[in-house]
Amino acid sequence: MELDGLDKMRLPQHVAIIMDGNGRWATARGKNRIEGHRRGKTSVRVIVEMSRKIGIRFLSLYAFSTENWYRPDDEVGALMTLLEHYLAAEQAKMMRYGIRLLAVGDRSRLPASVRGALEKVIELTSANQRMTVVLALSYSGRDDILRMVKSLAHEARAGKCDPDAIDEQTIAGYLDTAGIPDPDLLIRTSGEMRISNFFLWQIAYSEMYVTSCLWPDFREKEYLQALLEYQRRRRRFGRTDEQLDEIVEPSLDAGGRQS
């Protein structure tokens, strides 16, 4: 894959993707929706490999939302099976490429076999340092925030945390994404202009890129386009252009803080 035009010095550190359009891809071809998810799994593999190749440090994938539990049982079952197969098939590659796997979301709702497979790969890859893949599974932004508030409230009640000392860093540290930098770039496929309860706190200053391309068709060329578009943007983090001219841009993190 030609990476012509991509500035290696200005890559997003964290890319988050709302993978949408598997169902429509299948329906348009007279196929079962599950066939779309199967094809979508190949896109996952391709995008993980390309991210690793170009040096993206964090890649988050919205693979199954809290709301997806309401889909028909056979579709939920098929998605869980695909996930389990993906974990089994990709673990060797993750080790070879130095990829660490993390998961965000309410893992307790996953079937035991998926949870077991997930925990095994998370443990196996825990020391890998080249790239981190974050799978959002049984995840929603509001649920993440809800669980964070409950944890903080319990800590406060137990006298382990002073409510007046809570700041943005405290909150970030209690979310599922603790320790993961905020996404610099949020990609959504299939053209919908929605966040769909994905990362809410974390995307405060993310650049958004929406493409009409359906997820099963989102491959190297489309990903490169998204990255090139990101590099054409100027992230201001609420500041003025004149202020930014005085700051060396890479010294701002994804939350707009100057380091």
Residue nearest to ligand FPP (CB): 23
Q: Are 141 and 69 in contact (CB under 8 A)?
A: no
Residue 206, by phi and psi: left (phi above 0), alpha (psi -120 to 50) or beta? beta
Q: Does residue 162 carry a catalytic annotation?
A: no
Rounded-to-integer distance, Cα 180 and Cα 102, Å: 10
CA atoms within 13 A on the CB side of 138: 14
Looking at beta carbons only, is 20 or 184 nearer to ligand FPP? Answer: 20
CA atoms within 13 A on the CB side of 222: 20
Distance in Å, CB of 82 to ligand FPP, minimum? 5
Distance in Å, CB of 195 to ligand FPP, minimum? 14
Looking at beta carbons only, is 70 or 112 nearer to ligand FPP? Answer: 70
Of the candidates 68, 128, 197, 217, the residue annotated as catalytic is 68
Q: How far is CA 231 from CA 114, 193, 207, 227, in A?
A: 37, 21, 10, 6
| Residues lying near ligand FPP in the complex (CB under 6 A) | 19-24, 37, 40-41, 44, 61, 63, 68, 79, 82-83, 86, 135, 190, 215
Distance in Å, CB of 188 to ligand FPP, minimum? 10
Of the candidates 20, 176, 182, 184, the residue annotated as catalytic is 20
Q: Does residue 20 carry a catalytic annotation?
A: yes
Catalytic residues: 20, 68
